Structure 1
Amino acid sequence: MKLCRFGAPGQEKPGMLDGDGVIRDLSAVIGDIDGMTVSDTELAKLKALDPASLPAVDGTPRIGPCVGNIGKFMCIGLNYSDHAAETGAAIPEHPILFFKANSAIVGPNDMVMMPRGSTHTDWEVELGVVIGKTCKYASEADALDYVAGYCVVNDVSERHFQTKLTGQWTKGKSCDTFGPTGPWLVTKDEVGDVQNLSMSLDVNGKRMQTGNTNTMIFTVAQIIEHLSGLMTLHPGDVITTGTPPGVGMGIKPDPVYLKKGDVMELEIEGLGKQRQEVGQDA
C-alpha cells in the first residue's frame, strides 16, 4: 500500500495510491497520515478498503511530506561503506546519530532553498524508515516489527555549516527545506527486502549517486535496535539511514556543490521519485 498527503503546505489531506496510479482521497476515513494512523491495526483497516470506493483526486495536486506531525526526525551518518570510503572517513563503530529540525521537512517536489550565503549545499538520497508503534529496547531480530513503512528522503546538507561552524552536524542539516520526504509512505509488506533496494540521484540530468541499501554498514534492524536502546521511538518518528557514494563533497579533485537553478531528481526502488529545483534565500 502506498499512502501520501496532498494539497497546499499545512493543508495536506491523506491519500492512497490505487493500482492505476490514481490518488484516492482518504479524508472521509482518517484525518491524516501520522503517528495516530500508522499502527498495524490502523494500516490493516486501510488495506481492507476498496480504493475504487474512495473519491479520485482530480488534476495533479502538490504532494506533501508523506508523514504529518513527525515527532523525531533522526538521521544516521556515514552508513554506507562506499560513501565512507569516498569521504576518507573511518568506518564508525556505532551508528552516527544527528537530528534534522522538523522545520526542514518539505514535500518531495518542493523547492529546496539554499540559505543566505550558502556555497556548499550538497545532495544525499536516503532511505527513510517510518516507525509504526512505540519501540524501546528492540532486538535486531524483532526491530522491523516496529516499522510502518519506508520512503525516500533527500538529506540536503550545507557542508560549510556542517563542518566549519563549530558544533554538531545539525547546523548544516537543518536549514529550511533541507528534508524533502516522500512521495509515498510504502508499507513494509510491499517493500520486500529493505536491504536490497537500488537508489539513485541525478543533478541536471547527470547521474551523481548510484547505490544499493545492501552496502549499509548498519542495517535498518541494527539501527532501530541501537536507537531504541537510547530513547523511545514513537509512531510517526522518521529515521533516515545514510547515503551511498556520489555526493558533491566527495568529488575529486574538486568538490561540486549545488547552485541556484539546479534540479535534483532522486529515486529508490519501489518507493517513488523526487524532483527539486534549487533556489537561494536573498
Structure 2
Amino acid sequence: MKHARIEWGGQVHDAIESQGQLELTAGDHQGRLLSFDEVVWLPPLPPTPPNRPRTVLALGLNYADHAKELAFKAPEEPLAFVKGEATLIGHRQFTVRPAGVSYMHYECELAVVIGRTARRVTRADALDFVAGYTVANDYAIRDYLENWYRPNLRVKNRDTCTPIGPWLVDAADVPDPMNLALRTTVNSQVTQEGHTSDMIFDVPTLIEYFSGFMTLQPGDLILTGTPDGVVDCQPGDVIVTSIEGIGELVNTIKQHLPASS
C-alpha cells in the first residue's frame, strides 16, 4: 500500500493511493477522495513521539560508480552523516539554491523508514525492522565541501534540501529493495540512471551496522546514497527523482531571495 501525508482543508491528513487519487483514512473526512493537485504534499513519514527528534542517517559514496565519478576509492565501511529533520520537505515543493553558490546537485536515493525499535539487529533479521520505503532527493552544495568522506553541515544540512516522497510504500510491497531501478530527470531530460543492486552496502547491512552502536526508532530514516550522473541544478529547474515501484518525486529549484531592508 502507498501512504501519504498531506495538508488539505487547513489540516494535516493521512491518506492512501486509491484509483489514481488520494483517499483520506481518518477523521470526519475518512473515505473522501482528493486529486493529487488539490493538496499540499508533506513528507510521508509517521509522526514521532512528542519531544523526540527524528534521526536521519545518510550515506556517502555508497555506489561504486559514484565514488569513481568523484575520483575516490570505494569505502571499506559505511560513510555516514546525520541530517536534521528540518531539511525534509514534501513532493512538489521548492528547494532553495543559496545565492552565490556555483554547484548544487541532486542525489536520487532509496530512503528506508524504520518501523520498530532496532538495537543490535542481525543482517538476516534486518528487513523485519523496516516499515517501508520512499524516494529521497538529497541535494548537495559542493561549494562548501571540505572532504567527500565527511561533508560539513552546509553541504547537506540546509532547510528544504531533502525532498522526500510522495509515498511511503509498505515494506511488504517491496519484496527486494536491492532490485530497484533509479532514474533522475532535469527538465524532462534523463541525467542519472542506476540500480540499488549496485550499492556497496545494502539495506540489511546498513541496518545491522547502525543498530550495532545506536538505537534506531520508528520513523527514523536511512538515506542509502546515489549512483553517478549528478549535474548542477539552476533556479527554475524541475527535478524528478524516481525509483521503480516506489514513486516519482517532483521538486523545483528556486533562487534564494535576500531579506528586504
1:267 aligns with 2:245: no
Query: Given the two structures, how large is their TM-score scaled by the length of structure 1?
Result: 0.83
Q: Does 1:236 align with 2:213?
A: no
Contact 2:21 2:36 in 1 (8 A): no
- Whole-Å Cα distance in 2 between the matches of residues 163 and 272 of structure 1? 33
Q: Which amino acid aligns with 1:202?
A: T
Contact 1:113/1:279 (<8 A) preserved: yes
Letter in 1 for 2:211: S
Structure 2 residue runs without a partner (length 5+): 49-53
Q: Per-residue deviation at 1:84? A: 1.1
Paired position in structure 2 for 1:145: 128
Are residues 206 and 145 of structure 1, via their aligned partners in 2, closer, same or farther at CA, if it must alter by over 3 Å? same
Is 1:119–1:259's contact at 8 Å kept on the other side of the alignment? Answer: no
Deviation by residue 1:43-85 (Cα, 9 ceiling, x = unmatched) = xxxxxxxxxx822225621221111546111101100111111
Pairing partner for 2:67 from 79, 84, 91: 84
CA contact (8 A) 1:156 1:178 kept: yes
Contact 1:98 1:169 (8 Å CA) reproduced: no
Matched, 1:281 2:259: no
Matched, 1:65 2:43: yes
Question: Secondary structure of 1:208's match?
Answer: strand
Q: State the partner residue of 2:31.
A: 54
Alignment partner of 1:126 is 2:101: no
Which residue of structure 1 aligns with residue 86 of structure 2? 103
Q: Which SS does the other structure have where 2:123 is aligned?
A: coil
Distance 1:202-1:231 versus aligned 2 partners, 3 A rule: same
Shift of 1:270: 0.7
Output the CA distance in 1 between the equivalents of 2:44 and 2:75.
Answer: 30
User: What is the rounded CA distance, in whole Å, between the counterparts of 1:163 and 1:68 in structure 2?
Assistant: 34
Q: 1:15 aligns to what?
A: 15
**1:27 maps to amino acid:** A
**Residue identity (%):** 37
How far does the alpha carbon of each residue in 1:176-204 deviate from its partner, in whole angstroms, 9 at most, with x for none? 11110100000011112110100100112
Summarize the Cα distance change of 1:194–1:57 in structure 2 as closer, same or farther, 3 Å threshold: same
Instruction: Using structure 2 for the length normalisation, give the TM-score.
Output: 0.89
8 Å CA contact retained: 2:113, 2:132: yes
Aligned 1:28-39 pairs, distance under 5 A: 28=27
